[in-house]
Amino acid sequence: MNAPTRIDIAADVFIHEDDLAEQFIRSSGPGGQNVNKVATAVQLRFDAANARGLPERVRDRVIALAGQRATKDGVIVIEADRFRTQERNRADARERLTALVAKAAEPPPPPRKKTRPSKGAVERRLKSKAGRSTVKKLRGKIGED
C-alpha cells in the first residue's frame, strides 16, 4: 500500500493529501450554459488545526494569515473559480494554499534596531520649528501702539 502523498513546502513543513478535502460546486461568472450545467469551481478545505505536517508556529501563523478564509475550528476554505475547467481550478486552489503555507513558514523578520536622531538633525528640526512659529506669530493682528 502506498504512503499518503504530500505537498512539500519547506524543510520540515508539508501538507498531507489526507488533510485536504475538495468539493466541486457551480461557478459564477462567464461561461454561458456551461456555468449552469457543470460544477467547475473548487472548494478546497484544509484542516490546519489538526494538520500533521505543520509545526506549531507555522500552524498558528497560517490560521492568522488566512483571516476570514479560516473557520473557528481552524479549517481553511479556499474557493477557486477563475477558470472554466475543474482541473485548472483544482490546481489553482492547491497553488494558493501552498503559497499561503509557504508564507507562514517563512522565518520572522529580525527585530527592529532602535536608533536615535543625530544632534545636528535635532537642532535643524528645532530651528525649523522656531522659524515656522515666528512666521505664524507675524500673521496675527497688529496691536495698537
List pLDDT tens digits, range 93-142: 888 888 888 888 888 889 999 999 999 999 999 999 999 999 998 887 77
CA-based radius of gyration for the chain: 28
List pLDDT tens digits, range 67-83: 888 788 878 888 887 87
List pLDDT tens digits, range 20-44: 778 777 777 666 666 667 777 788 8
Number of domains in the chain: 1
Residues 6+ apart with CB under 8 A from 10: 102, 105
Residue 138 covered by a domain: no
Give the residue numbers spanning the domain of 54: 6-105
Cell of 48: 490546519
Global pTM value: 0.64
Residue 111 covered by a domain: no
User: What pLDDT does 1 receive?
Assistant: 43
- Within the chain, residue ranges assigned H as helices are 33-37, 56-66, 86-105, 119-138
Residue 137 covered by a domain: no
User: What pLDDT does 29 receive?
Assistant: 62
